[in-house]
Every structure is written in C-alpha cells, then in structure tokens.
Structure 1
C-alpha cells in the first residue's frame, strides 16, 4: 500500500523545533494532542492516516514529545528488525518505570535486556507452557462454574477475576488461601493503576497524598509479601516438583552459570508479569466473547471445537479477536541515533510507534478486515509484521504463548458449559482504559447451561 508521500529521505529537526519538514501531523496544541492520544488514539490514528498517509507525527506534553506513527508493513519491519542499540524499547516504555521497577524486562535495553530475557525464557518454553495447562484449566473451571445464569454479567470483569487468580497461583505460585486473601486486594489495586497515578509516582511529595499515597501503600504491602514468597520458595523442599512460573525461574537458576536474578530483580519481573499479563489477557478474552456472541456461525463452530478439543480453532478465535480489537494499539521505540524510516531521516530522541491497530485493519494484508473470521488463522498465517498484538522482533512479548494458552483454555471451558448471547444486539465500542482498549460496557452477556 502506498501513501502518496514523497519518500526521499528528509532531515527533520529535534522534537522541540516543530519544523514542517518532519512527517505531517496535527497542528493543534501539544496538550490537545496529548488528550486525544490518551483517550481516542483508536479513532485518531485512522483519521490521521486517511489525511496524511502511512507515516505521521504527534506532539505530546509528556517527556516523549515527538511521536512518529507507522502503519506500513515495511516501516514496521524496519523498526522491529532494526539494531536494538538504536531502537530502545526500554526507554520507550520509561513511563512505566516507577510501577514496574528498574530491572523489568520491559524497561531495560541491550545487554541488560538480553540477560533478563534469557533468564525468563525457561519459564515460557513449550514444555513449561504444557505444565501450566492443568492449573489454568482448574482455575478456569472454578471461575466459570460460579457464573450466574439468565442474568447479565460483564465478561470483562469475570475474565479479570480469572486472570488475577492465574497470576497469583500459576505465575506467583501462591496457593495458600490465607496468603491469597492478603494478596488479592493488593494485586487488584496495583493492576488498576491509572495514568494520572502513574505519571505522579516519580514525585516524592505526591506519594504522600491521594491516589499516589494509596498506590505506594499497596505496592509496599505487595512487595513485602512477594519478598517473603521468594525467600520461602528458594528454601522450599518441594521446589523441584513445583510447576509455577516463579519456581521454574528458581529451578533454572541452579543449572545456570553466572547466577540468576537476585531478589529485587525477581520482584520486578513478577510485577511486570502482573501488569503486562493481567488486564491485557482479560481484555482480549472479553473481546473474543463479545465477537463470538455477535457471529452465530463462528460461535457454533467454536462450541463444536470446545466439545471436540479442537484447540487450533479456539486459538484462532483468540488471535482474530486480538487482530480485530487490539488490546494495545501501538508500541514504542526511542531512537538513540538518527534513523531513516519511511523515507524520513528521524533524529535521535524521536519515538517511533508501530501502530498495531492500523496495520491489523489494513485490507492490503487482511481480507475484509472488519469481519470477525477466525478461519483466516487456519487458512494461512498473516504476512510478517501485519499481526503484531505482542509486538515483534527481539522485543516480542515473552508471555505471548502463555497468554494464548490462557485464552484457549478459558474459551474451551466457557463454551463447553454455556450458551452465550449478548445482552443487546448492538456491538460495544472500544474505550481507552489506561494503555488498553476495553469494551465500553464490559462485554456484557447472558449465559445459560447447554442442554
């Protein structure tokens, strides 16, 4: 797909100069662009693409002031396949620092990131994922059996409850009910951190008041429990028979030269898995249910797949929901050196953003992109860099396989038990919630036992 833009490389100045030589974009004040980006990016980006082409600029009031939005497959390939010492994802995610911790795999770059990723990988291999399936299935059964029949429920809220339990028991490895009772409200509160709270966390004065004080208190409470759990797990006599993520990380350390994570690093990775994997997976599942109940043919086939153990189709349902309704609309890389992208010579300090929502809705790559068609993931895999809900390249989400496993198991258990229908025919809109796009009314459905 061509944009009609002259792709001859052009020098554009640093973010603060506002020169017209940069990729085109809005001329509204930066504060207005910031508000539009925060609340309406899923509507703003398609509008700007129609107006300006496949590459355009936004100016924000945040420290990352100069955003270059990319929607062409070739430009996204340049970013995902480019040198990691030039394209820093850690710096691009820097706003999350106070919430995740300095050692988070999402916030580190180059050698430090490679080390963190190498240490995390054993817990997310295919063999490890197979070991989690039984635990995820058991927790899912407990959750869905509690759903009330013939009354409206918010599937988003119910999936949040499920993924919270999966984080606590399958990732953290906490199964003692007394400790779970202590952890649940802390994890729930931390996972619901809002953008205003996030932006204010670096300031000590704010940590004494309002939502910042509450979040800091929650964080300290959870940190205490996590450090106790890490210390106890290291010394646990049954460590080698445990199959949760934390235990697998500790088991792998014993077979690794040069050591593994220290306690502070482990804490940061666990918080990262919580914040990156709880809300996003729950939202993806809610969108999958939202789409199934409005597409009777696909719902019927998905029910048959659940009955027959056809995991391939259920996984395709989850993938198609993530394509049609991306939970996260864009990812970021901050340039440490000038780089030519989309015909523009972008300066160091600029942030490039592959737009997940734009490339996944492009008819050049996805036939009838507005249609919910899980079969497209059975017929053939989409072209490279056109289905990117988990990012791409060296920074592709390490938990992608875990998230798809959760979705496949959850869909299977729901569809085996229930007939599901929407509470009203009209589809729900996408609504910005922190960094995710959630169903505006909670993906409401009514369930009844299958006969």
Structure 2
C-alpha cells in the first residue's frame, strides 16, 4: 500500500508559491536538447559546476527538467509518494518504442500490477535457475572469440546478452521468426539521439532514417504478435518457465494480459534486459585490459570462483561508466526541494552520472577500483545504476548474475590487452552512453598450469 504522506522537505503547501524556481542555462530549447542528447556526459558536469546541485533544464520532449545531484535530495525523491513522483511519465521518451502498457511507462496501480506479474521471473528460484543457461551461452560465445587481433567486445556482449534475454523471454531461440527478430532488435537498440526524435514526431517518419526505424519497429511488432499467438495455442504452457509462458498462465483472470499488454512487456524486457549488462561488461573489459594489476586480481577471482570480486568489477564499471546517466520522475503536484519550488508537470531527474562521479562519495572517482564494492561498498544512495525506490529495476539481480558469469568465463580463458593505450571516450546512443569504439580489446589464450 502506498501513502500520500510526503517527507517534510517535499510538502507542497501554498507557501511554496513564494519560493524561486531552480537556476539553469538560458540556451534555447533546441540547443539544450542537442547538448543533452548527444553530449550530456560532458555538458551536465559543467552545468552543475555553474549552477549547483539543482538545475532547471529545458529538453525535448519533456520541456522542463530539474537535474538533482545531491544524494539527500535524490533520497527524498525515491522515498516520496508514487502518486506525486510518476516514474512512468518521467520515461515518456521511451513510450513510442516500449508501449503505453510497459512496466517502465505506467504508474501507481497499473505499474504495480505489471511489476507483480514480472517479478517472479527475476527473483528467487527463477534467478538461480538461470545460472546454467547463462553459463552455457557465455561459454559458447567466448570460445568463438578471435585471438591475437582487435575486436569490438561491445558488439560481442550485445550478441550474447540479447541471446540470453531471448531465451529467458521466449524459452526458445530457434527458427526464422526469432532469427529475424534478433536482427531487428539490434537495429532498434543502435539508433542515435537524433533518431529518437522520430519516435515523437510522426511527420519525420516519412523521411530517411526515421522511416526506416519506424518500419523496423512495425516489423518487430508483427513478429512478436505472431509469437504470442502461437504460444497461446501451445498445449504445454504449464511446463514452460519462460516469461511469455508465465504471463499466459497467471492464475487470476483479472491479471491476464491482452496481446497489446504482452507485447509491451516483452519489448521492454528484450530492449532494456540486455543493453545495460552488455555495456557494463564491455566497459569492464576496457578497464581491465588497461590495468594489469586489477586484471591479475580479477583473473585469480575467476580461477578461484570468487564471484564477489567479479561482481565488484561489474559494479565499478557501472559506476565509472553509467549506461543511463539519470532517472526521471514527473511531478503531479508542486513540491519543494532544497529551497526551490518545482511545479507540477516538471520532471525531476536524479543524476546517476554526477553522483557516481562525485569525489565526495567516491574518492578518486576517475579511477577504476572494484575494491570500492568490497567490505560494505560505497555509502547508501551513492550508487544507483538500476534506479531507486519502488521503481528499482526488476532485473538488477539478473544483470549482476549475468555479468559475473560472463566475466568468469572470459577471464578463465583469456588474457586481455587494449588495442591502443588511450582510453575510449563515451558516446551517446539512443538514451544510453556506450564505448565510442566498441571497447576494442585483444585477447590471448591463457596457458594455465
């Protein structure tokens, strides 16, 4: 049960009318939108240095965003009433591709219903049951890697994590329909910041790349609906453990999903269920290849089955290189945060990248140090790549399990080296930040004694 009783700092009496709006840059909306979409990892730290921890931005399509970089302010947002802080509305940029029923897009009771239905597939016994599947697919993938020449580890991780989530969602990955769906999903994930404009401007979908992207999304939907229709006719649903079959066999009639609702949840899992892990693993390889001492430590951990350290490697990669730079909550009423009034209709945006790169929370934040996550880890609230509060990512545990297993399979077989000494910068892709050159590495088979 949720309550509308807000923490004191978030009360919104009429007295807030006298409070000022947060400061922020006066650049035109199109300019701010471009900087946020294509260069936010460079622009937002400069904005914070000039304006402080609470900054008013104007970004398409949300219009009014308020960036938050203070851990206490962010904690107030995550613990605030879900009726005031709408995460689904805050994710409106994803609605055209994820769908209106997606667990990422809905709020309050509708969201809770979807979350309740999806949660069993990513917790408890189900989560433990994926270990063998992930190990099998990871082994098959890394044994095909080319030794002695540079390759893009990000591409290989995308292929692997997509294969894993396809198996988790559908149970099978064979056949021409899913072969085509793999190709289409890769295209959808690979869109750039300007391509996202076409999601929200149907008029653009008559032209060039926006038309091709729209056609790709429509074809992916056709394949998913065909898979749903076939699965509804299956006579062995009760024996299957994949997500689609679970959703088709929920006991309560009121919880059964329509085809459109199923489509939206499946697309959400397929797209969001592999991007973060693939990118975190790619950054892990990128950093380990440039740090021989920590590569040695991680290699010993792989040989010894020390999954705690391997998980710390993945967590530190997510800290140093956030895949998503912020989370968002659309306000349904005026609130006060840090002495500023933030009106209803604005979106507050806790900044993952600014908090995780802040030396006040992470000493020497530019350094790759997995040890931060051992013996208690960073302070609560200073690491949140999976979001926070009741909207924390359902697949967080699955993502870390997956990353740990893949790191073990790679490091137990290969020695990693960079293709060049200079580190790769991040670049914006859709709403994510990825290695600019694909996290290129060179591997050498290990001669284990």
TM-score w.r.t. the length of structure 1 is: 0.91
1:107-186 equivalences in 2 (<5 Å) = 107-186=105-184
In the comparison of the two structures, how many residue pairs are matched?
433
Does structure 1 residue 295 correspond to structure 2 residue 291? yes
SS in 1 for 2:358: coil
Separation (CA, whole Å) in 1 of partners of 2:37 and 2:143: 37
Q: Is the 8 A contact 1:12 1:344 kept in 2?
A: no
Q: Note the alpha carbon deviations across 1:176-218, whole angstroms, 9 max, x for none.
A: 2433323222222222233333322355544444233323322
- CA deviations 1:293-319 (Å, max 9, x no partner) are 122221111111111221111111111
Shift of 1:411: 0.8
Counterparts of residues 436-447 of structure 1 (less than 5 Å):
436-447=432-443
- Equivalent residues of 2:16, 2:335 under 8 A apart: no
Range moving further from structure 2, 202-211 or 335-344 = 202-211
Whether the aligned pair in 1 keeps the contact of 2:163 and 2:173 (CA below 8 Å) is: no
Q: 2:380 aligns with which of 378, 381, 384?
A: 384
After superposition, the Cα gap between the structure-2 partners of 1:306 and 1:248, relative to the gap in structure 1 and judged at 3 Å, is farther
Question: Using a 3 Å threshold, how does the CA distance of structure 1 residues 111 and 283 change in structure 2: closer, same or farther?
Answer: same
Deviation at 1:127, TM superposition (A): 1.3
In the superposition, relative to structure 1, how do residues 24 and 202 fare at CA in structure 2: closer, same or farther (>3 Å)? closer
Aligned pairs for 1:195-210 within 5 A: 195-210=193-208
Instruction: Kindly provide the CA deviation profile for residues 241-267 of structure 1, in whole angstroms up to 9, marking residues without a partner as x.
Output: 33333233334x03x463322221111
Q: In the alignment, what sits opposite 1:370?
A: 366
For residues 375-428 of structure 1, what are the alpha-carbon distances to aligned partners after superposition, in whole Å with 9 as ceiling and x for unaligned? 211111322221110000011111111111221111111111111100111111
Contact 1:55 1:68 (C-alpha < 8 Å) held by counterparts: yes
Change (3 A) 1:403 1:426: same
Range that drifts further, 274-283 or 316-325: 274-283
Structure 1 residue aligned with 2:330: 334
Aligned-pair CA distance for 1:11? 4.1
TM-score by length of 2: 0.91
**Partner of 1:430 in structure 2?**
426
RMSD of aligned C-alpha atoms?
1.9
Distance apart, 1:342 and its partner CA: 1.7
Contact in 2 for aligned 1:200/1:206 (Cα 8 Å) = yes
Matches within 5 A, 1:3-402: 11=17, 21-60=20-59, 62-251=60-249, 253-254=250-251, 256=252, 258-402=254-398
Distance in 2 separating the partners of 1:239 and 1:434: 36
